[in-house]
Amino acid sequence: MSNSDSLSRRIFERAHLTGEFRLRSGQLSSEYFDKYRFESDPVLLREIAAALVAALPTGVDALAGLELGGVPLASVASQICGLPTLFVRKHAKSYGTCRLAEGGELDGKCLAIIEDVVTSGGQVIDSARELRNRGAAIVVVLCVIDREAGGAENLAKEGLVLRSLYRMSELNSRP
């Protein structure tokens, strides 16, 4: 069993739930990956972050962790690769600095968006648009799990490249 197979098995065992779940996209699903279960395990989180770092292309200035699930992934990945992390809110604050992203400037930065699970890609698209409106370029979108529910295609329509560690079908067909 390769390290990737071992990691996928441990993600599946730790985070896969069955039942009836409403996804952010509004879709109903009989299975769910509770990302907080793998993000709350320090050993598993570090291994996932290392795999995300290995998927980073060159030319990235900073990691952009999306609220909430992308933040721990981006934080640990930052520790591994040394790139700074931006913490991207779903909506800019209406008080204080009124920032969409905390941790640094956006204008002229080449970012890798970090997300946990992508279904339709809706939140990634919304965040990417806002980051671009503030002068950032999006080099890549990295996620742990692509649910294969149209997210990659929707992101591509926005000029965004999705790289996932695993697709749902791979996790479901693991040994």
**pLDDT-based confidence at 173, cuts 50/70/90?**
confident
Asked whether 31 and 16 are in contact (CB, 8 A), the reply is yes
Average pLDDT, the chain: 93
pLDDT beyond 50 at 2: no
**pLDDT-based confidence at 1, cuts 50/70/90?**
very low
**pLDDT-based confidence at 111, cuts 50/70/90?**
very high
Q: The CATH number of 3-172 is which of 3.30.420.40, 3.40.190.10, 3.10.180.10, 3.40.50.2020?
A: 3.40.50.2020
pLDDT of res. 93: 84
Question: Using one digit for the tens of pLDDT, what is the confidence trace for 85-100?
Answer: 999 999 888 888 889 9
158 CB-contact burial (10 Å; exposed 0-12 / middle 13-18 / buried 19+): middle
What distance in Å separates the CA atoms of residue 48 and residue 156, rounded to the nearest whole number?
Answer: 24
pLDDT beyond 50 at 114: yes
What distance in Å separates the CA atoms of residue 104 and residue 134, rounded to the nearest whole number?
Answer: 12
Q: Is the omega angle on the peptide bond into residue 7 within 30 degrees of 0, that is, cis?
A: no
Q: What is the mean pLDDT of residues 116-138?
A: 96
The ranges assigned to domains in the chain are: 3-172
Question: Using one digit for the tens of pLDDT, what is the confidence trace for 32-87?
Answer: 889 999 999 999 999 999 999 999 999 999 999 999 999 999 999 999 999 999 99
pTM of the model: 0.93
